[in-house]
Chain A
């Protein structure tokens, strides 16, 4: 089954603190991409960070970093020095190649609240 599980429907973090959002996935593919997307209240999805499965080094983008555990099929997102603007829904996703086409599977999301 091709699934993405985000077990935390909602998380809260104090401004300037660090928070980690969890994500696990299930795929039999060996080559795939992983993504974290952010959906602010304006609703447009924005890419936060991406990771190629063949790369062992964890991706980082400024205050955002991932902990990619390929064997465990885990892809958590760490947000450091949280800011009020980080408040949003966060979706974990992966892309696989199947029958020569690309398929993107999304999790159900984690709502992040940032407390002033």
Chain B
């Protein structure tokens, strides 16, 4: 059973460009979370999605950032018109439908975005 897959692992963008980060949850998982980690800092919650629905986007900036989790395909975190402050590691985590099984999140290896 493959784990949470994120790509690209590394992404370099110039200011003003768009960044798209993809996350394929573990098989059978229908809940996806995105977190941002700045150097030497903890994980900051961004958005929580279920298939075709955004459940909680309270941690995501209102402008330039968007996320989706379509019925088919991976979840996408999209950052438009990137700025240097967007440089960070972005982690995706998934959980199964029946969260009462373990309650834990399963993490991907992260995507490191560098904005020049």
Nearest B residue to A98 by beta-carbon distance?
B56
User: Which listed segment binds B: A13-21, A76-84, A99-107?
Assistant: A99-107
Query: Which interface class (under 10, 10 to 19, 20 to 34, 35 or more) fits B?
Result: 20 to 34
Q: CB-CB contacts of A96-116 with B at 8 A, as 1s and 0s?
A: 000001111111110000000
Q: Does B55 lie within 8 Å of A43, measured CB to CB?
A: no
* Majority SS at the chain A contact face: strand
Given A45-B91, A91-B43, A107-B42, A102–B102 Cβ distance below 8 Å? no
B45 touches which one: A37, A50, A105 (CB < 8 A)? A105
Q: Count residues of chain A with CB under 8 A from any CB of chain B.
A: 23
| B42, B55, B99 pick with most chain A CB within 10 angstroms | B42
Please name all residues of chain B whose beta carbon is closer than 8 Å to the beta carbon of A47 when the two chains form the complex: 104-105
| A6, A42, A43, A101 pick with most chain B CB within 10 angstroms | A43
Q: Does B42 lie within 8 Å of A91, measured CB to CB?
A: yes
Q: CB-CB contacts of B83-102 with A at 8 A, as 1s and 0s?
A: 00000010101010001001
- Min CB distance A24 to B, Å, is 14
Check if B69 is an interface residue, CB within 8 A of chain A: no
Q: Does A103 lie within 8 Å of B102, measured CB to CB?
A: no
Q: Does A102 lie within 8 Å of B109, measured CB to CB?
A: no
Across chains A and B, which 6 residue pairs bring their CB atoms closest together, nearest first?
A108-B42, A45-B107, A33-B103, A106-B43, A44-B109, A106-B42
List residues of A whose CB falls within 8 A of some B CB: 6, 33, 35, 37, 42-47, 50, 52, 91, 95, 101-109
List residues of B whose CB falls within 8 A of some A CB: 31, 33, 35, 41-43, 45, 48, 55-56, 89, 91, 93, 95, 99, 102-105, 107-110
Identify 16 new A-B residue pairs, CB closer than 8 A, beyond the known A43-B89, A45-B107, A106-B42.
Answer: A35-B103, A43-B110, A44-B108, A47-B104, A47-B105, A50-B103, A91-B42, A91-B43, A101-B48, A102-B95, A103-B45, A104-B33, A104-B45, A104-B93, A105-B45, A106-B43
